[in-house]
Structure 1
Amino acid sequence: TMQRAEDVAASYGESIRRAIERHKHYPRAARLRRIQGLVTVAFTVAADGSISGLRAVGGAPSPLEQAALDAVRAVGKFASIPRETGKTSLEFRIPMAFSLD
């Protein structure tokens, strides 16, 4: 059903977000200079879980932007897109907060 496909896609999206968060590191230089902010990363995931079109869209100063991109790259490849979604690729925009408080 359509609802089932949406639920599976939402669950898959959450697993993508968690995988990226596990690889997120606050840059030491940014921490020392107390640089904080929100970076949104955008990318496409293919059916096999490979990543393309990775970019930062708006957001924080460059050390944080670089750290956000590095977190996605560090994942390498996500799990394959579940067949139940009916999709062969999915677009993601993931906001990543870098906060010292």
Structure 2
Amino acid sequence: MAAPAPAARPAGPPASYLQALAAALERQKRYPEAARARRAAGTALLRFRVMRNGHVARWQIERSTGDADLDRAVADMISRVSLPAMPAEMSGESLEVAVPVRFQIR
């Protein structure tokens, strides 16, 4: 007797949509001059819920960069971003996303 097939797992969002979200966020990211002058660097973990129309319903910095200026820059970035709408093939009314936001001096 054959083993039962595993239950189908719901597919996640398309990689192209996640890339579009990341690109939109990156376009709004600004490295604060005061932080740059101090050579401050760090990575925040930003969690947000995006609605089907691209509106950010809520957000929080789940992990700080360790620098107040950089954390404010993350807040400014998510506050002014215009995200793309969810693709028609995606189910649900919203999507929870967690993304690292890196600030580093090159």
The interval holding the TM-score normalised by the smaller chain is 0.7 to 0.9
What residue number does 2:72 align with?
A: 66
What residue number does 1:18 align with?
A: 23
Query: TM-score, normalised to structure 2's length?
Result: 0.82
1:25-78 per-position Cα deviation (integer Å, ceiling 9, x unaligned):
100111111111001111100111110221111121111111012112221x32
Whichever structure has more helix as a proportion of its residues is 1
Q: Tell me, in whole angstroms, the C-alpha distance in 2 between the residues paired with 1:30 and 1:44.
A: 28
SS of the residue aligned with 1:84? coil
Query: TM-score, normalised to structure 1's length?
Result: 0.85
Unaligned residue ranges in structure 2 (runs of 5+)? 1-7
What residue number does 2:3 align with?
A: none
Structure showing greater Rg: 2
1:94 aligns with 2:87: no
Question: Percent identity at matched positions?
Answer: 31
The Cα RMSD (Å) is 1.8
How many aligned positions are there? 97
1:90 Cα offset (Å): 0.3
